[in-house]
Amino acid sequence: MIEVAGVAKTFEAQDGSAVPALADASLAIARDEFVAIVGPSGCGKSTLLRLVAGLMRPTRGAIRIDGEEVTEPRADIGIVFQAPTLLPWATVLSNVLFPLRILGGLDDAAEARAGALLALAGLAGFERKMPRELSGGMQQRAAICRALVHDPRILLMDEPFGALDALTREEMSLELLRIWTERPKTILFVTHSVPEAVLLADRVVVMSARPGRIADIVPVALPRPRSFDQESSAEFQACAQRIRGHIFRRRAA
């Protein structure tokens, strides 16, 4: 469904020199597949996400969604960032409805849909609250609802749980899986956490830094529904080892 074909992205530094962020990345993602991207900082994983989102154009190569080249942002993509970035002046419900306010299609049915999404994310009863009245985890749940409200087929998540504490983080991972099971989407999920990637994803893309490139793609053969009980299983450990191997080998070299 998503095809990344020989994509490279080079930024221009302030002194005019070229900084390669991503070199020759190729990747094919199937419909409703959950793909995690893991790698050290500066490996270009956020860049890859923004390229897929159409927020920037690749220097070389092409990104295609259903065979159509991505040249600008698309309405069938939802994005979640590391920070919830809710609008401080709007209620939780208005925040979730924000994409529809921009895209059009804001009506009573949409409001009911947003309410159902909030309930699905465990935020029933918080519709009229302001973002500042919510905890960090709850704000991020609202941000996920916001990314889902226009029913996109693709969900791009840039370290969505990176700013949360460890316990909330584990809880949110399971919630995300639950939501994904109820509303299947193609998910591209950037993270720093190896266990998180293995727990969530069908395949884990391991990236290495400077220049960012894809080092390996690790399929995770754990049965679903997933839970933290599987963390001690041989398959989980094997996947985690293989991913860590790539990251630390590169770092030692």
Partner 1 sequence: MPNASVDISSAAAPPERRPARRVRRLWAGARPVVLPLAVVVVLGLAWEAAVRFFAIPEFLLPAPSLIYSEIMAIRGPIVGHTLATLQTTMLGFGVSLAVSLPLAVAITASPAIANAVYPLLVVTQSVPKVALAPILVVVFGAGETSRVLVTFLVAFFPLVISIATGLLAVPPELVELGRSLKATRLQELFRIRLPYAVPFVFSGLKLSITFSVIGAVVGEFVAAERGLGYQILAATAFFRTPIAFGAVIILSAMGIILFQAVVLIERICFPWSAQEETSRR
Identify the CA nearest to 54 among candidates 76, 35, 21, 30: 76
Query: Are 227 and 178 in contact, with CB atoms under 8 Å apart?
Result: no
| CA atoms of 27 and 217, how far apart (whole Å) | 9
Residue with tokens 């490279």: 8
Give the residue, chosen from 13, 89, 108, 253, that forms a contact with partner 1 under the rule CB under 8 A.
89
Beta carbon of residue 189, minimum distance to partner 1 (angstroms, whole number): 16
Distance of CA 166 to the CA centre of its chain: 18
Shortest separation between residue 231's beta carbon and partner 1, angstroms: 31
At residue 190, what are phi and psi to the nearest 5 degrees? -90, 135
Applying CB under 8 A, the span of 35-43, 50-58, 111-119, 176-184 interacting with partner 1 comes to 50-58
> Quick one: which of 79, 121, 176, 201 contacts partner 1 (CB under 8 A)?
79
Q: Which of 58, 99, 137, 212 binds partner 1 (CB under 8 A)?
A: 99
Residue positions counted in the chain: 253
Which of 1, 10, 50, 170 touches partner 1 (CB under 8 A)?
50
Peptide bond into 225 cis (omega under 30): yes
How far apart are CB 188 and partner 1 at their closest, in Å? 13
Per CB under 8 A, 163 contacts partner 1: no
Using rule CB under 8 A, residue 160 touches partner 1: no
Burial of 221 (0-12, 13-18, 19+ CB in 10 A): exposed
Smaller CB separation from partner 1, 77 or 215: 77
Quick one: 50 or 178, whose CB is closer to partner 1? 50
Q: Does 34 bind partner 1 (CB under 8 A)?
A: no
125 is a site residue for partner 1 (CB under 8 A): no
Cβ–Cβ < 8 Å for 174, 182: no
C-alpha span between 240 and 234 (Å, rounded): 10
Of the candidate residues 83, 106, 110, 217, the single one contacting partner 1 (CB under 8 A): 83
Stretch that binds partner 1, among 15-23, 30-38, 80-88, 110-118 (CB under 8 A): 80-88
